């Protein structure tokens, strides 16, 4: 039986003028997590939102907030986003000098700790911190903007991350973000992912229909064309 992945819509693609309504609609539509992309205009070439926005939308849903910090340096922001309501804090190895310490600090704050791998970031880093991660995020685009095309070679990276997690006996989630649609969701899950971030695909059209399509794609055996 095919795995039904967690669907984590990215509010980067939502209507920022009505964020509270948007996260309520996503929960009603069957989303599992809310993915929050935080960009600082320095680590990535875009600026999105800060902890005050996360705090403002936190009362509008009971779903976990999966906060992807594209911020450098990242350490000074961990506490603020945790206090604002983040349940998962995911960081890039390049966003601070001591990844091991950063992941440990996230756990000390009572959040789940995640690490993100950009297309050019080597998976060997995961071997060194696998005991500290609750989530591994494989970027299937270069971070900074929504609506980009899925990089097909990311499937090999997903499979590589899954092998590392399995060897370590890790229960960490393996998430994919970037250009995810119902056409490639099956391939992502087949490669080892169990959580899918989708922005543009979910928000273009009926949310419930699109989320259901992502959940059903692995069972239908849909792959990257």
Give the active site residues: 37, 177
Q: How far apart are CA 83 and CA 65, in angstroms?
A: 12
Contact 62, 53 (CB under 8 A): no
69, burial (CB in 10 Å: exposed 0-12, middle 13-18, buried 19+): buried
Helical segments of the chain, H only: 19-28, 51-57, 78-84, 99-108, 124-129, 154-168, 185-191, 200-203, 207-220
Q: How far apart are CA 159 and CA 213, in angstroms?
A: 23
């Amino acid at each position: 039986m095919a795995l039904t992945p967690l669907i984590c819509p990215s509010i980067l693609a939502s209507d920022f003028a009505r964020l509270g309504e948007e996260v309520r609609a996503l929960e009603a539509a069957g989303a599992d997590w809310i993915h929050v992309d935080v960009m600082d205009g320095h680590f990535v070439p875009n600026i999105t939102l800060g902890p005050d926005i996360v705090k403002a939308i936190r009362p509008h849903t009971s779903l976990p907030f999966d906060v992807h910090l594209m911020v450098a340096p990242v350490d000074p922001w961990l506490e603020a986003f945790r206090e604002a309501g983040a349940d998962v804090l995911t960081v890039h190895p390049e966003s601070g000098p001591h990844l091991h310490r950063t992941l440990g600090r996230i756990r000390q704050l009572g959040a789940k700790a995640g690490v993100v791998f950009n297309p050019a970031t080597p998976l060997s880093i995961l071997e060194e911190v696998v005991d500290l991660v609750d989530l591994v995020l494989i970027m299937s685009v270069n971070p900074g903007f929504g609506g980009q095309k899925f990089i097909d070679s990311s499937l090999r990276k997903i499979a590589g991350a899954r092998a590392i997690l399995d060897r370590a006996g890790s229960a960490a989630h393996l998430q994919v973000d970037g250009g995810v649609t119902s056409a490639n969701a099956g391939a992502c899950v087949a490669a080892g992912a169990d959580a899918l971030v989708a922005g543009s695909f979910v928000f273009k059209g009926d949310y419930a229909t699109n989320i259901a399509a992502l959940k059903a794609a692995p069972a239908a055996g849909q792959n990257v064309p």
